Amino acid sequence: MQTFFQDLRFGFRMLRRSPGFSILIILCLTLGIGTNAAVFSWIEGILIRPYPLVPHQDRMFALGGTTRGVANGNSLSYPDFLDFEKNSTLFESFIVDKITGTSLSVGDRAERASAGIVSANYFDALGIKPILGRGFRPEEGQGRNAHPVVVISYRTWKDRYGGDPNIIGKTQYLDGVQHTIIGVAPEKFHGTFVGYSFNFWVPLSMQETFDSTGYHLEDRGARWIEGYAFLKPGVTRQQAQAELDSIAQRLEKDFPETNRGHGIQLLPLWKTPFNGASAMNQTLGITMAVVFLVLLIACANVSNLLLARSLLRRHEMTMRLALGAGRRRLIRQLLTEGVLLSLIATIGGIAVAYWCRNALVLSFPKPTTGIVIDYSGQIDWRVLMVSAGICILATLIFALVPAIQASHVDLSGALKSEAGGVLAGSNRSRLRSALVLVQVSLSFVLVAGTGLLLQSLNKMRNASPGFSTEVVATGVDLFSAGYDLERAKIFHTQLLDGVRTLPGVESASLTRVIPFTYTPYSTAPIEVDGYQPPPNEQPTADYNQVAEEYFTTIGILIVSGREFLRTDDENAPPVAIINETMAGKYWPGKNALGERLKVKDKWMQVVGIAKNANYETKREPAKPFFYVPLRQNFAIQNNLVIRTRQTPGAVLNALAPAVQGLDANLAPLRAYRLGEQVDRMGYSERLAVTLVALFGAMALFLAIIGLYAVMSYSVSQGTRELGLRMALGAGVKDLLGMVLSHGLRLMAAGIVVGSIAAVVLTRLMANLLYKVSPSDPVAFGSALLVIIVASLVACFLPAWRATRIDPVKALREQ
Amino acid sequence: MNMKSTELTAEESTNEFDGNGFAPLIRLAAVTKVFLTDEVETHALSGIHLDIREGEYCSIAGPSGCGKTTLLSILGLLDTPSDGSYALKGHEVANLSFAERARVRNREIGFIFQSFNLIGDLTVFENVELPLTYRGTSAADRKALVTEALERVGMAHRAKHLPSQLSGGQQQRVAVARALAGRPAILLADEPTGNLDSHNGEAVMHLLRELHQGGATICMVTHDDRFAQHADRTVHLFDGRIVEDRMAA
C-alpha cells in the first residue's frame, strides 16, 4: 500500500512536471471519450431507445407500407391495420400513433399544438400509466367521433392548466369539439414520435375531427395509419415478417382493388419512416463514424505522445533498473501514471457527454410557436465504458513502453551507449511516424467529407424548389374553430377576396397543403384513360387541392393549357392539372391535355400541365403529381399563399383585422415565407454538415497536435544530429528543409493513404449528398489544401526551433 | 572541381604576416569568452592571442575546464568570442552572420569529434558526403572527393556499411574522412581519441600525423600529454589563459 501511494505521488509529480504534456494527453482523451459518448447518447436517445418510459423497446417495431416489396413511404389503411392485428399470432400488440395538430388560442394569436391520434390500447401497450386519471378504454377507439376524450401531456398540464390537480373531467375545445380531459401523461413521456413532444392524445374514433381530409376509418384505400407492433417474447423479426407477408397476400386476394401489390414491413425503431428517426439516422450514422475516427486519432495522438516521452524516460528507466528496481515495480509505477491520466480524462469525457446530451435540439431551427422539438440524448453507460476502455487501454499500453523497453535492455550496454558515437537512427520513430500517418489520413477523410457536405449544402441552398420561396404563407384554423364545410367555403372565399385587396399583395390563393411541411398530401389510386398498368401495379399519385391563381402566386409555370379558374367549382366538370413527370409517365409521346384520369370514382379532364417542382424535400426524385381545384374538393382547413413584397409580419398585421372583420373569434396563424419552411426541411443536411465539420475540425486539430508533437520530439531527439549538421556547414535553409521535409513526407504519405480511404468512405455518404459526386475534385482539392496548410503550421515551429539550436551545446549533449 | 570560388581567397584576406614572413592561417587577438549564467559571469577564455600557420600541427592541452573546447568552438566558428578578433586566412570572421559562419565552416573547417558523431541512418559514404551536400558540390565531384577521403583513411572498402557495423576506431576514421572530404583549410579535432582504447587511439593519432605530413593543418584539443606530443607545437591553457606555447623538440 505504501508503494502504491509512493507511485501515486510520483505519478502526480510527473503530471505536474510536464503540464503541457499532461494537458495535451488529457485533452485528447477527453475529446475522444466525450464526443463518442455524446454521439452515442444521441443515437441511444433518438434511434435505439427513443421512448424512455417504454419497456421492451427491443421488441417494438415500426410498421411501414410497401408496394411490390419496396418501401413506399406510405403507411397502411385502418381496415388493413385491423386485419393484421386480428389475424396475427406472433404479436403482443399493435398500436396506432398518427401525428396531428391543432390550434390553441393564445390572446389574439393562435398557437399550434402537436398531438397523436392513437389506438385505444396505446397507453396500455406501451406500459405508460397516466399520473392523473386514466388512458383510453377499448370502446373509446370505436364509433365515428363518438368519444371526445383526451389525455394531455405533463408539460401541457403544467403550462396551460397550471398543474391543476383537479384537471380530470374538465373540458377543452379541440378542433371545434369539446373534449373531456381524462388523463395526464407522466413527465418523461412525450409520445412515440421521434423529434416532437406531443401536447395531447385523442382516440382513433376522433380521427375525422382532427383530419381535415375527412373520415378514413372505413376506407381501405386511405393509407394514413402510422403505428408500431410489439412482438411476443422469443419471436424473431423474420418470423413476424413472414406472418405479416402471408396476411398481406390474403388481403391482396380479398381486396385487389385497393391492395394489389401492397404489403407491410416491420422496421426497427431507428428506421421508422414516419418520424424524425428516418431524417436523423443517416446523419447520426455518419456522425458516429466520424467520432469513431476522432477516437482513433485521439488514441493515436496519446500513443504518440507517450511513445515520445518513453524515449525521454529511457535513461530514467535504465537507471532505476541499475539501482535495483524490479521490472514489476517499474510496470506498476507506469501503470499508476497511465491510470491517473485516463481517470482524469474519463471524468472530463463524462462531463463533455453530459453537457452535449441535449445539444442536438440547439441546432434545430426555431419551431413554430407552441411546438416543442425533442431530440434528447441519454448517456449510454455501455458506450461511455467502451470509449473510456479503448482510451484507457491505449494509454496503458503506450504508458508501459518505457518499462517494456527497459526490460529488454542490457544495462551495461545501455549506459555505455548513452555516450555512443553514432547518433540515433529513426527506427524508433517509425511507429510514431506510422501513427501520425494514420492521423493525417483520417483527418484527410474527415476534411474531404466535410467539404463534400458543405458543397452539397451549398448546392441544395442554391437549388430552386420549383416555386417562389418569397411567397408568404399563413392561414386561419377554421377546423379548430368548429366551422363546417359550408361556412368554411364562404369564409375562405370572402377572406381570399379581402386579401387580394390588401396593399402590396400581387396575388393570393388557397391550398390545402403548403409544400415542404409535414402535412401529408392527399394520395389516391388513379385510373388513367388509355393507360394499361402492369398486372402488379396499382397506379397511385399524390395530389393537392388548390384554388385559382395558385400557380401564378406560388410561381409554378403552366407549360401547357391553363391554370384553375374561379369557375372550376362543383358546378363545373371536374378538371385536373398534372405535372410534367405525370404527363410523361401516363401519356408518353402524346399531349395529355384533354385526356382523362379517374380519382376516387370521379373522372376529371386534364386542363393544364405544370412544371415539375419539389413537393416535400429538395432531394426527392421527380414523381407524378397532380392538382385538383379546391372549389371542386373543398376542405375545411386551407392555407393562404400570398405573393407580396411585404414582410410576413406586415402581412399578418394587415390580415388580422380582415380575419376578425369576418369572424371576431378568429385570429390568423403565424405568417412566414416559404423559404423558411424549405430551410427547415433541410435540417438533417445542415446538422450533418455542422457535426461532421465540428468533429472534422476536432480531428484535424488533434492530428496537427500529433504531427507537431512528433516533429517537436524528433527535433529534440535529433538535437545532436542537428548540431553536427550545423558544424558541418548546414545553413538555416538546409535545417528548415530537413525538418520540414520529414514532416511533409509524413503528410504526403498520409494524404495518399487518406485519399484512397476517402474515395472509398465518402461513397457511404452518397445519400446525404445533393448533386455532388462522392469523389468531387473540389472537395478533395480543398481537403488537400487544408491538410497541407495545417501540416506546414504543425511542422514550421519545430523546424524553426531546429535552426535556433546552439551547436556547441547540442554536440555536448549525451 | 571548382573549389576556388567557395573558399576564402587570398584577395579577400587582410594579408598580415607573422615575424617569419608567413601569413598565419588563423590569428586570434585578445579573444575573450564570457558565459553569463544566472547573472554569474564565467570567463572561459581571457586575452587569447594565438596564430596558427598553414601546415602546422598544433595541440591545445590543459586540464578539464580550462577552456580548450571553448577555444576550439571559436576556432571552428561554432561560437563567437565575447571580445577580440579572429582572422581566418586573413579574413575577419569573429562577427559573421549565422549563414556566413555556416558557409565558412563548411568550406574551411573540418571537424573531428571525440564522440565521432556519425549519423546512424546514413552509410559511411553518405556520412562523409554530408558536408559536400551543403556546399552544392555536384554528385560526380562528391563521389570523387568522398572516395579519395575514404581511401586516405583506409575505409574505402566499408563505404556501404552503416556506422553501427564498424568498430570505434573505424568510426573515428570515417569521422576523419568526413572532415577531410571538403579539403578544408584546417582540421579541428576535439579529443579525437577520447572514446577509443589505447590501441585505436594510437592508430588515429598515427593517421593525423600522416595527414599532417601530407600538408594538412591540424589543431587538436587533448588533455592527454602522450597524444599532445604527436603535434609540432603544444599550447597549454589554464583557467582560460595560454600559459605555455612550446614547439616540439
pLDDT at B1 over 60: no
Rounded to a whole number of angstroms, the distance from the CA of A418 to the nearest CA of chain B is 11
pLDDT at A556 over 60: yes
Widest Cα–Cα separation across chain B: 53
Query: Which residues in chain B are contacts of A732 at CB distance < 8 A?
Result: 98-99, 102
Interface size, chain A vs chain B, as Cβ–Cβ contacts under 8 Å = 80
Query: Which residues in chain A are contacts of B98 at CB distance < 8 A?
Result: 731-732
Q: Which chain A residue has the Cα nearest residue B116?
A: A421
Contact A426 B119 (CB under 8 A): no
> Which H/E stretch holds residue B60?
strand B57-61
Residue A782 CB coordination number (10 Å): 18
- Full 3-state SS string of A494-549: HHHHHHHCCCCEEEEEEECCCCCCCCCCEEEEEEECCCCCCCCCCCEEEEEEECCC
Burial A304-327 (b: 16+ CB within 10 A, else e): bbbbbbbbebbeebbbbbeeeeee
Identify the contact set of chain B against chain A, taking CB-CB distances under 8 A.
73, 76, 78-79, 98-99, 102-103, 105-107, 111, 113, 115-121, 130-131, 134-135, 163-164, 168, 171-172, 175, 178, 182, 195
> Which H/E stretch holds residue A182?
strand A177-184
Q: How many residues does chain B have?
A: 249
pLDDT at A413 over 50: no
- Nearest CA to A730 out of B130, B139, B176 is that of B130
- The model's confidence at residue A91, banded by pLDDT at 50, 70 and 90, is very high
pLDDT at residue B2, as a whole number: 36
pLDDT at residue A322, as a whole number: 66
- Nearest CA to A360 out of A378, A346, A387 is that of A378
- Taken in order A610, A612, A613, A614, the sign of the CA dihedral is positive
More confident site: B132 or A392: B132
Contact B117 A724 (CB under 8 A): yes
> Which residue in the set A423, A730, A811 is minimally distant from B120, CB to CB?
A423
Alpha helices in chain B (DSSP H): 68-75, 98-108, 124-135, 139-152, 168-181, 198-213, 225-228
Contact B178 A420 (CB under 8 A): no
CB A528 within 8 A of CB A588: no
User: For A336, how many CA atoms within 13 A lie in the half-sphere containing its CB?
Assistant: 19
- The model's confidence at residue B249, banded by pLDDT at 50, 70 and 90, is low
- Nearest CA to A341 out of A404, A400, A288, A381 is that of A400
Query: CA-to-CA distance for A366 and B244, rounded, in angstroms?
Result: 90
> Which residue in the set B79, B99, B163 is minimally distant from A422, CB to CB?
B163
Task: Mention every residue, 6+ apart, whose C-beta is less than 8 A from residue A585.
Answer: A624
pLDDT at residue A325, as a whole number: 67
> Which H/E stretch holds residue B41?
strand B40-53
pLDDT at B3 over 50: no
Q: Let me know if A605 is exposed, middle or buried by CB neighbors in 10 A (0-12, 13-18, 19+).
A: middle
CB A91 within 8 A of CB A232: yes
More confident site: A714 or A426: A714
Mark residue A126 as left, alpha or beta (left: phi above 0; alpha: psi -120 to 50; beta: remaining): alpha
Q: Let me know if A515 is exposed, middle or buried by CB neighbors in 10 A (0-12, 13-18, 19+).
A: buried
CA–centroid distance for A780 within its chain: 24
Query: CA-to-CA distance for A103 and B131, rounded, in angstroms?
Result: 85
- The model's confidence at residue A420, banded by pLDDT at 50, 70 and 90, is low
Alpha helices in A313-380 (DSSP H): 314-322, 327-356, 359-362
Query: Which residues in chain B are contacts of A807 at CB distance < 8 A?
Result: 78
Q: What is the pLDDT of residues A285-343, one digit of tens each?
A: 878 888 888 888 888 888 778 777 777 777 677 667 666 666 777 777 778 888 888 88
pLDDT at residue B201, as a whole number: 83
Backbone angles phi, psi at A542, to 5 degrees: -85, 150
Burial B180-193 (b: 16+ CB within 10 A, else e): bbbbbbbbbbbbbb
**Which residue matches cell numbers 395531447?**
A200
Residue A361 CB coordination number (10 Å): 14
pLDDT at A241 over 80: yes
User: For A795, how many CA atoms within 13 A lie in the half-sphere containing its CB?
Assistant: 22
> Which residue in the set A421, A729, A808 is minimally distant from B79, CB to CB?
A808
Q: Which chain A residue has the Cα nearest residue B80?
A: A808
Averaged pLDDT, B104-125: 87
pLDDT at B19 over 60: no
pLDDT at residue A201, as a whole number: 95
> Which H/E stretch holds residue B234?
strand B233-238
Contact A422 B116 (CB under 8 A): yes
Which of A464-468, A579-583, A695-699, B102-106 comes out lowest in average pLDDT?
A695-699
pLDDT at B199 over 70: yes
Rounded to a whole number of angstroms, the distance from the CA of B171 to the nearest CA of chain A is 8
Q: What is the pLDDT of residues A259-282, one digit of tens each?
A: 888 889 999 998 888 877 777 777
Q: Let me know if A412 is exposed, middle or buried by CB neighbors in 10 A (0-12, 13-18, 19+).
A: exposed
> Which residue in the set A420, A424, A734 is minimally distant from B134, CB to CB?
A734
- Nearest CA to A202 out of A149, A155, A161 is that of A149
| A234 in contact with B, Cβ within 8 Å | no
Query: CA-to-CA distance for B146 and A66, rounded, in angstroms?
Result: 80
Query: CA-to-CA distance for B35 and A179, rounded, in angstroms?
Result: 94
Query: Which residues in chain B are contacts of A724 at CB distance < 8 A?
Result: 113, 117, 119
Query: Which residues in chain A are contacts of B78 at CB distance < 8 A?
Result: 726-727, 807-808, 811
- The model's confidence at residue A709, banded by pLDDT at 50, 70 and 90, is confident
**Choosing among B74, B96, B111, B119, which should be mutated to test the A contact, i.e. which has the most A CBs within 10 A?**
B119
pLDDT at A425 over 60: no
- Nearest CA to A197 out of A165, A163, A232, A154 is that of A154
Measure the CA angle with vertex B197, ends B196 and B200; round to 5°: 75
pLDDT at residue A362, as a whole number: 66
The set of cell numbers assigned to A19 is 503540464
Contact B98 A732 (CB under 8 A): yes
Rounded to a whole number of angstroms, the distance from the CA of A723 to the nearest CA of chain B is 9
Which of A176-185, A396-405, A470-479, B110-119 comes out lowest in average pLDDT?
A396-405
Contact B115 A808 (CB under 8 A): no
Rounded to a whole number of angstroms, the distance from the CA of B102 to the nearest CA of chain A is 5
| A736 in contact with B, Cβ within 8 Å | no
pLDDT at A417 over 60: no
Rounded to a whole number of angstroms, the distance from the CA of A790 to the nearest CA of chain B is 28
The set of cell numbers assigned to A739 is 525538418
Q: What is the pLDDT of residues A596-633, one digit of tens each?
A: 999 888 899 999 999 999 988 887 888 899 999 999 98
pLDDT at residue A168, as a whole number: 95
Backbone angles phi, psi at A390, to 5 degrees: -60, -45
Query: Which residues in chain A are contacts of B117 at CB distance < 8 A?
Result: 421, 423, 720, 724, 811
Rounded to a whole number of angstroms, the distance from the CA of A791 to the nearest CA of chain B is 24
Averaged pLDDT, A168-176: 84
Contact A728 B195 (CB under 8 A): no
Q: Let me know if B55 is exposed, middle or buried by CB neighbors in 10 A (0-12, 13-18, 19+).
A: middle
Contact B134 A730 (CB under 8 A): yes
Tally of helices (H runs) and strands (E runs) in chain A: 26, 25
The set of cell numbers assigned to B53 is 600557420
| A804 in contact with B, Cβ within 8 Å | no
Query: Which residues in chain B are contacts of A728 at CB distance < 8 A?
Result: 105-106, 111, 130-131, 134, 178
- Nearest CA to A192 out of A51, A323, A62 is that of A51
Q: Which chain B residue has the Cα nearest residue A426?
A: B121
| A419 in contact with B, Cβ within 8 Å | yes
Contact B117 A423 (CB under 8 A): yes
Query: Which residues in chain A are contacts of B115 at CB distance < 8 A?
Result: 419-421
Query: CA-to-CA distance for A400 and A372, rounded, in angstroms?
Result: 51
**Choosing among B75, B82, B100, B117, which should be mutated to test the A contact, i.e. which has the most A CBs within 10 A?**
B117
Q: Quick check: ipTM above 0.85?
A: no
pLDDT at residue A408, as a whole number: 62
Mean residue pLDDT of chain B comes to: 84
Q: Which chain B residue has the Cα nearest residue A418?
A: B115
Alpha carbon distance, N-terminus to C-terminus of chain A: 37
Share of chain A above pLDDT 90, in %: 28
Residue A718 CB coordination number (10 Å): 23
Q: Which chain A residue has the Cα nearest residue B119?
A: A423
Which residues are registered as beta bridge partners of A263? A66
Averaged pLDDT, A8-30: 82
Contact A422 B120 (CB under 8 A): yes
Mean residue pLDDT of chain A comes to: 83
More confident site: B113 or A400: B113
Query: CA-to-CA distance for B174 and A440, rounded, in angstroms?
Result: 39
pLDDT at A50 over 70: yes
Q: What is the pLDDT of residues A767-796, one digit of tens each?
A: 778 888 888 898 899 889 988 888 888 888
- The model's confidence at residue A412, banded by pLDDT at 50, 70 and 90, is very low
Q: What is the pLDDT of residues B47-82, one digit of tens each?
A: 999 999 999 999 999 888 888 888 988 999 888 899
Share of chain A above pLDDT 70, in %: 89
- Nearest CA to A279 out of A768, A678, A692 is that of A768
The set of cell numbers assigned to A422 is 553514432
- The model's confidence at residue B233, banded by pLDDT at 50, 70 and 90, is very high
